[in-house]
């Protein structure tokens, strides 16, 4: 095989190899982008789920605190009523209320 024919064949072979390599690289980059986008959507969905769960937990805890506060307010009102009754009873007994 003459040298020029061999060089020509090698040049064509290298060019074909580079073309296949470029095509494979483009395909792999596209696949990588698809995988990256899918993973990003999965991560966003997971963040949304966690955020929703955290918001529900905050709301649950806020309701619990509100319930405790209402119970304390009821207890304060009950104690004030008892104090008024104690003072009324003391007046009725002729004692001086404290």
pLDDT of residue 93: 87
User: b vs e for 1-21, b when ≥16 Cβ sit within 10 Å of the residue's Cβ?
Assistant: eeeeeeeeeeeeeeeeeeeee
pLDDT tens per residue across all 98 residues of the chain: 566 787 788 888 999 999 999 999 999 999 999 999 999 999 999 999 999 999 999 999 999 999 999 999 999 999 999 999 999 999 888 888 67
What DSSP string describes 31-94? HHHHHHHHHHHHHHHHHHHHHHHHHHHHHHHHHHHHHHHHHHHHHHHHHHHHHHHHHHHHHHTT
CA distance 96 to 81: 18
């Amino acid at each position: 095989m003459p040298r020029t024919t061999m060089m020509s064949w090698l040049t064509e072979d290298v060019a074909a190899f580079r073309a296949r390599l470029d095509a494979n690289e483009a395909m792999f980059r596209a696949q990588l982008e698809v995988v990256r986008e899918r993973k990003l959507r999965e991560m966003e969905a997971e963040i949304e789920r966690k955020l929703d769960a955290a918001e529900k937990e905050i709301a649950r805890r806020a309701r619990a605190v509100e319930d405790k506060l209402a119970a304390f307010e009821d207890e304060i009102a009950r104690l004030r009523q008892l104090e008024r009754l104690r003072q009324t009873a003391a007046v009725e007994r002729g004692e001086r209320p404290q």
